[in-house]
Structure 1
Amino acid sequence: MATNRRDFIRTAGVGLMAATLPGYMDLHAKTVQHQLSVQLYTIRDAINNDFEGSLKQLASIGFKNVETAFWPKEITDEHAAAVLKSLGLKISSCHTDIPTKDNIAKLAALANGYNCKTIIWHGWPEDKRHSTLEGTRELISIYNKANKLAKDNGLRFGLHNHWWEYRNHVGGKLVYEILHEELDADIFFETDVYWVKVAGQNPATILQKLKNRIRFIHLKDGPAEFNDKLLSDSPDPMTPLGQGTQNIPAIINASSANVEYMVLELDKSIIDVFDALKQSYDYLAKFRSVNRG
């Protein structure tokens, strides 16, 4: 039985993963190295069934780095870190809850154990405060305070989006525009281009517009159309990169030199998930050298 996002987050600790292929593409006339990472939410069911075997399968595809979020209850952060290290998988970033005074010590310890100082608020589920300007500004205040806590503890803090930030209008603007204008300058975005397209926006245009804010990109492909099933966390099955509706070359070309990691993710796969990851990995190999001029 497949695990959905809500169940995955509810039954876990702190972390989701992504794997990195160093220097997999040159996006400028000069060399710009974005590393490839894979969000381990992608293989959550496999992890539940065979933790170490699933990670070995990722490594065998060629992934080198991972982005973490939440583990099954029986997997401790310490054990996960040891297994990842043994497989040569480094942690690019950690999906976590929003830093607060109550959890910051745990988040700092997690980051130290993972040898990764980058934490990202996973952003699920939708906070209805993003339906009004006042609510959005209340959340901005929370994010800014979380950012200060993170910095005071040697961490850096980012936000991962879904569709509502790019679909909800508040105060005459889209939510993401208010966030970009009013968040602390050092809070970075991990822009999920699939949800951007689901919201009806052009991902390449958004990447160009927010280039000074974006440090991570979630890459995924598929139908990318809004429907009511999304509200119950039941997205349409996604495809390997290059087989859906996304213009992946345009997305890659629109990605600025500020981007550190491209994070591959499938919330639900139309084929075997490891096959989809392998096909996506091979597809991205086409873009090892892209001259942007």
Structure 2
Amino acid sequence: MKIEQVALITYTIRDFIQTPDDFRQSMQKIAEIGYQAVQISGMPHDVMPATEIAAVCAENGLTICATHEPSLMILNEPEKVVERLQQLGTKYTAYPFPSDVDFSNAQSREKLIQQLDHAGSVLREAGLVLTYHNHANEFYKWDGKPALQHLIEQTSPENLLFEPDTYWVQLGGYNPVDWCKLLQGRMPLLHLKDVGVRKGNEPIMHEIGYGNLDFKSIIAAAEESGCEWYIVEQDTCPGDPFDSLKLSFDYIKANLVS
């Protein structure tokens, strides 16, 4: 992994990108930390035109490596997603969360699989790529396999790739290293998020290197599988999220990049 492949998802700083001025200031702070790429997420579409978002990022030397777009837009209006990605100048997006999907219901999950495959084909025909971002609920099992494995097996590798999240894989009861290996050739994006335990036996999201995950093994497996972007995410931070993002970046730079 090279330092220029390390990005962050703006969902971590979502409270600081709700106006154009805040977005500009935040991108400057991110660049000053040392990040060279961002995944755009957590920012309503009406805050700034996509072309202006792209311009601000370019001014700060930040590549837009990917986005998260609204789940229903991806499933029902993939043509709008194509237009937005083209305006942002990025190739990848991720389906962020199956909010209306019941994995215990065969009809619900089959509909999702069909819609994802179709949406991915629309993006593919435009030279773009749809990926799937998991949480823990994708490890609900049916027919002896977690939902995420069914998604992998029942969608076309041409139409759907994946953006696994290390924290949620671990909370789902699995080893992120194993899933990086399973997704060989279908994992251009990886969310880096560390897992710790707070007093009271509850899991907590940590800065990279400050929790319990073996990131050296995770990165090695991801590289072997062809990962292009390593994206830092921390949904909740103990204080200023920019401080947490700096801790993660500094640890990655000192310990994980080659």
What TM-score does the superposition give when structure 1 sets the normalisation length? Answer: 0.77
CA contact (8 A) 1:197 1:203 kept: yes
Query: Equivalent of 2:95, from 116, 121, 134?
Result: 121
- 1:47 offset after TM fit, Å? 1.9
Quick one: distance in 2 between partners of 1:247 and 1:126? 33
Asked whether 1:221 is paired with 2:221, we answer no
Could you say if the C-alpha distance between residues 101 and 159 of structure 1 is closer, same or farther in structure 2, counting changes exceeding 3 Å?
A: closer
The whole-number CA distance in structure 2 between the counterparts of 1:76 and 1:83 is 11
* Contact kept in structure 2, 1:238 and 1:267, CA below 8 Å: yes
- Say if 2:212 is the partner of 1:245: yes
Deviations 1:77-122 (A, max 9, x none): 2322221121111110111135669633322221121111222111
Give 3-state SS (helix, strand or coil) of 2:17's partner: helix
Q: 1:202 to 1:257 in 2, by over 3 A?
A: closer
| Aligned match of 2:235 | 267
Contact 1:132 1:171 survives alignment (8 Å): no
Distance 1:124 1:271 in 2: 29
Cα RMSD between the aligned structures? Answer: 2.4
Give the aligned partner of residue 107 of structure 1.
Answer: 81
1:46 aligns with 2:25: no
Question: Following superposition of structure 1 onto structure 2, how do residues 14-163 of structure 1 map, counting pairs within 5 Å?
Answer: 23-24=2-3, 35-48=5-18, 50-72=22-44, 73-98=46-71, 103-125=77-99, 127-128=101-102, 130-163=103-136
In 2, the alpha carbon distance for the partners of 1:271 and 1:161 equals 25
1:178-189 equivalent positions in 2, closer than 5 A:
178-186=150-158, 187-189=160-162
Secondary structure of the structure 1 residue equivalent to 2:99: coil
Percent identity among equivalent residues?
Answer: 29
- Whole-angstrom distance in 1 between the partners of 2:75 and 2:170: 35
| Alpha-carbon offset, residue 208 of structure 1 | 1.7
Match in the other structure for 1:203: 176
**Pair 275,110 (structure 1): closer, same or farther in 2 beyond 3 Å:** same
CA contact (8 A) 1:218 1:265 kept: yes
Describe the superposition over 1:245-276 as per-residue Cα deviations: whole angstroms up to 9, x where unpaired. Answer: 22222211221241011110010012321111
Looking at structure 2, the residues matched to 101 and 201 of structure 1 have their Cα atoms a distance apart, in angstroms, of: 28
Distance in structure 1 (CA, Å) of the matches to 2:100 and 2:34: 34
Paired residues in the alignment total 249
Q: Distance in 2 between matches of 1:36 and 1:249?
A: 14
TM-score by length of 2: 0.87
More helix by share: 2
* Structure 2: distance between partners of 1:182 and 1:100: 18
Alpha-carbon offset, residue 131 of structure 1: 1.9
Matched residue type, 2:43? W
- Amino acid paired to 2:28: K
Change (3 A) 1:68 1:197: same
Report the equivalent of 1:8: none
Distance, in Å, in 2 between the alignment partners of 1:23 and 1:100 is 30
Partner Cα separation in structure 2 for residue 59 and residue 190 of structure 1: 23
